[in-house]
Amino acid sequence: MFSRTVKLTQARAFQTTARKNLTIPFLSTLPQAPGGVKGNVNDAYVPPAPEKLHGSLHWDFERVLAISLIPLVTVPLAATGSISTVLDTALASVLLGHCYVGFQSCIIDYIPSRVYGKNHTYAMYLLGLGSLFSVVGIYHMETKEGGLIGVLKNIWSKPSTEKK
């Protein structure tokens, strides 16, 4: 009886649950090769073609955008009055670029083209379209609404309680 117990615990120690890949349920996926490997062991590795806009230049551009936000955000906070239109437009544009690069990284990481195929391309097109609409919105905000800082000041200002 003791030997049966030992054998059962030894067998259960090696059991594993079925591993499920994380997928987005409403997006169609492409069929994947077993283990994610295409070909066989003896096939040579074919590296992807180099792109100048990706890799270290892309990483440097992300860092420049992130670091340039620091003075662009602190100057309006330190200024008591309104800031120049050029500085306000630069803040809105750099903020849009920072958001674009961040969302692009999320799409690349969580909707990869090797798994989701055309859905990855559609997501990138939607990001570009949304960014284009944002550029139009920034233009409208800068010309008619007093800029990004002016809009934020209007949102956070205390409403007037004076009766007319």
122 is in an annotated binding site: no
116 is in an annotated binding site: no
User: How many whole angstroms separate alpha carbon 69 and alpha carbon 84?
Assistant: 16
Binding residues for a ubiquinone: 110
Residues of each annotated binding site for heme b: 98
Annotated binding-site residue numbers: 98, 110
